[in-house]
């Protein structure tokens, strides 16, 4: 059972243009050194997503932090010994870190880094949606605000959504799903669960084009196609492997192919190439005949995580104060329950 509401996908004008920050090698090296020193001076741990700037990914790993998907970022941030976390990703990732560790200080290179799925799921409208389907178990994707998480029974990421919805189906529960319609539909098809779907979308994955991908396959007939399930169904149909960022990285290592066409944010190419130096990775097309793309396989909000912003949050106190994640304690406690449920489910 599927019910699509009004379309909560963002219009093109609502999506910021990707800002490419061009810096020369000397400035880059200087910034990286200042960031190492700044992390040390603050006693902070850097936790970064696969989609952010490759220098920031490297800095996270070399300073004892982590680069990973949102599920592992949440777990790592919760378990980290440091009392200060710098979360390089988008706002819901910083909020998740704060919810799980309210005693820690959590800063981001910029709080302007949003997510189209989070923006496209306003808490008041979601509360009405939930009230209209009170008999259902509420499962929300991690890409939501703390307020929406607080209204849910379960939080999931793309790494564990299939397993958790299968588990709920096994218990005879009907699901209310939000906000990504493509991921929701994919999970529904895979599990055959009774799901009602919110109608949000990721501005990056929604732009991948099936026909252009099929055309690309003709040019690279031996390539395997790796697709994130936030992509449209027609793109998923072409895939050799479908899964979260971690699953895509695993598949690239396990499949015997030498060439891969990858339908997710191109930030992931840094880790893919690091782990598979002899393999070739090609961006899946975002533009078909006469079409244009707005985000063009790179999330504009992830792109706001650039070295200068990270340097500033470490060295400029006023800027740091402005980019700290603050959380009402009662809201944090409400939002933590479904997050804890997800993290506990993983270790069963
Ligand atoms: S890539 Fe898509 S889902 Fe991920 S943060 Fe950007 S808009 Fe959100």
User: What are the backbone angles phi and psi of residue 325, rounded to the nearest 5°?
Assistant: -80, 120
339 lines ligand 1 (CB under 6 A): no
Going from the Cα of 35 to the center of ligand 1, the distance in angstroms, rounded, reads 25
Q: Is the CB of 141 under 6 A from ligand 1?
A: no
CB-ligand 1 contact for 301 (6 Å cutoff): yes
Residue 290 lies in a domain: no
H or E segment to which residue 283 belongs: strand 280-283
Counting runs of H as helices and runs of E as strands, what totals does the chain give? 16, 12
Q: Same structural domain for residues 256 and 191? A: no
Q: Is 90 in the pocket of ligand 1 (CB under 6 A)?
A: yes
Is the Cβ atom of 195 under 6 angstroms away from ligand 1? no
Q: What is the pLDDT of residue 16?
A: 81
Q: Establish whether residue 203 lines the binding site of ligand 1, counting it when its CB lies within 6 angstroms of any ligand atom.
A: yes
204 lines ligand 1 (CB under 6 A): yes
Is the shortest distance between the CB of 110 and ligand 1 below 6 Å? no
Answer yes or no: is 277 within a domain: yes
Which of 172, 128, 178 shows the shortest CA–CA distance to 338? Answer: 178
**Residue by residue, what is the 3-state secondary structure of 153-200?**
CEEECCCCHHHHHHHHHHCCCCEEEECEHHHHHHHHHHHCCCEEECCE
Instruction: Evaluate whether residue 4 is within a structural domain.
Output: no
Q: Are residues 19 and 105 in the same domain?
A: yes
* Domain match, 244 and 279 both: yes
Q: Among candidates 225, 244, 229, 241, which has minimal Cα distance to 186?
A: 229
Q: What is the pLDDT of residue 290?
A: 53
From the CB of 207, is ligand 1 less than 6 Å away? no
* Whether residue 93 has its Cβ less than 6 Å from ligand 1: no
Question: Is residue 5 in some structural domain?
Answer: no
Question: How many Å separate Cα 284 from the centre of its chain?
Answer: 18
Q: Whose CA is nearest to atom 5 of ligand 1?
A: 115
Q: Report which of 90, 26, 46 is spatially closest to residue 314, judged by C-alpha positions.
A: 46
Residue among 249, 328, 309 at smallest CA distance from 38: 309
Q: How far is the CA of 209 from the centre of ligand 1 (A)?
A: 17
| 208 in contact with ligand 1, CB cutoff 6 A | no
For ligand 1, atom 3, the nearest C-alpha belongs to: 202
Same domain, 20 and 72: yes
- How many domains, the chain? 3
Q: Is residue 315 part of a domain?
A: yes
| Atom nearest to 89 CA in ligand 1 | 5
CB proximity list for 37: less than 8 A, separation 6 or greater: none
User: Which ligand 1 atom sits closest to the C-alpha of 180?
Assistant: 3
Residue located nearest, by CA, to atom 8 of ligand 1: 115
Instruction: Per residue of the chain (348 residues), give pLDDT as tens.
Output: 445 467 888 877 788 876 677 899 999 999 999 999 999 999 999 999 999 999 999 999 999 999 999 989 999 999 999 999 999 999 999 999 999 999 999 999 999 999 999 999 999 999 999 999 999 999 999 999 999 999 999 999 999 999 999 999 999 999 999 999 999 999 999 999 999 999 999 999 999 999 999 999 999 999 999 999 999 999 999 999 999 999 999 999 999 999 999 999 999 999 999 999 999 999 999 876 555 677 788 999 999 999 999 999 999 999 999 999 999 999 999 999 999 999 999 655
Q: What is the pLDDT of residue 19?
A: 64
Q: What is the CATH number of the domain that holds 22?
A: 3.40.50.10800
Separation of CA 196 and ligand 1 centre (Å): 22
Query: Does 99 map to a domain?
Result: yes
**By alpha-carbon position, which residue is closest to atom 2 of ligand 1?**
202
pTM of the prediction? 0.94
* Domain match, 154 and 98 both: no
Of all atoms in ligand 1, which is nearest to the CA of residue 301? 6
Establish if 175 belongs to a structural domain. Answer: yes
| Claim to verify: residue 27 and residue 105 sit in the same structural domain | yes
pLDDT of residue 294: 74
For residue 90, give the ligand 1 atom closest to its CA: 5
Burial class (CB in 10 A: 0-12, 13-18, 19+), 16: middle
132 and 211 inside one domain? no
Predicted pLDDT at 300: 93
Q: Is 42 in the pocket of ligand 1 (CB under 6 A)?
A: no
pLDDT for the residue numbered 6: 79
**pLDDT value of residue 8:** 87
Same domain, yes or no: 91 and 42: yes
Q: Do the beta carbons of residue 267 and residue 283 sit within 8 Å?
A: no
Alpha-carbon torsion (266, 271, 277, 278), positive or negative: negative
Residue 88 tokens read as: 């390089």
pLDDT value of position 292: 65
Domain region containing 186: 117-203+338-346
Helix crossing, 307-315 with 54-62: angle to 10°?
Answer: 50
What residue's CA is closest to ligand 1, atom 1?
A: 299
């Amino acid at each position: 059972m599927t019910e699509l509401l009004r379309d909560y996908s963002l219009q093109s004008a609502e999506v910021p243009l990707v800002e490419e920050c061009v810096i020369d090698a000397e400035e880059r090296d200087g910034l990286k050194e200042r960031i190492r020193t700044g992390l040390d001076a603050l006693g902070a741990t850097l936790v970064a997503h696969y989609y952010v700037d490759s220098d920031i990914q490297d800095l996270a790993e070399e300073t004892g932090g982590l680069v990973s998907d949102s599920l592992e970022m949440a777990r790592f941030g919760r378990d980290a010994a440091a009392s200060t976390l710098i979360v390089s990703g988008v706002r819901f990732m910083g909020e998740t870190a704060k919810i799980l560790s309210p005693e820690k200080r959590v800063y981001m290179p910029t709080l302007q880094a949003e997510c189209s799925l989070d923006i496209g799921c306003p808490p008041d409208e979601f509360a009405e949606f939930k009230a209209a389907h009170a008999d259902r178990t509420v499962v929300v994707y991690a890409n939501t605000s703390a307020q929406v998480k607080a209204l849910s029974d379960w939080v999931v990421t793309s790494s564990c959504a299939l397993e958790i919805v299968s588990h709920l189906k096994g218990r005879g529960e009907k699901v209310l799903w939000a906000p990504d319609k493509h991921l929701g539909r994919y999970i529904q098809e895979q599990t055959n669960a009774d799901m009602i779907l919110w109608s949000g979308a990721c501005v990056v994955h929604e732009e991948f084009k099936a026909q252009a991908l099929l055309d690309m396959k003709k040019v690279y007939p031996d390539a395997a196609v790796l697709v994130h399930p936030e992509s449209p169904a027609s793109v998923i149909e072409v895939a050799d492997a479908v899964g979260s960022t971690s699953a895509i990285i695993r598949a690239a290592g396990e499949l015997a192919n030498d060439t891969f066409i990858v339908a997710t944010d191109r930030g992931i190419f840094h880790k893919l190439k690091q782990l598979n130096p002899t393999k070739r990775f090609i961006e899946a097309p975002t533009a078909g005949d006469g079409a244009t793309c707005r985000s063009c396989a790179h999330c504009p909000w992830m792109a706001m995580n650039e070295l200068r912003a990270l340097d500033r949050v470490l060295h400029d106190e006023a800027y740091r104060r402005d980019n700290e994640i603050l959380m009402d304690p009662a809201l944090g406690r409400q939002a933590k329950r479904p997050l804890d449920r997800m993290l506990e489910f993983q270790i069963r």
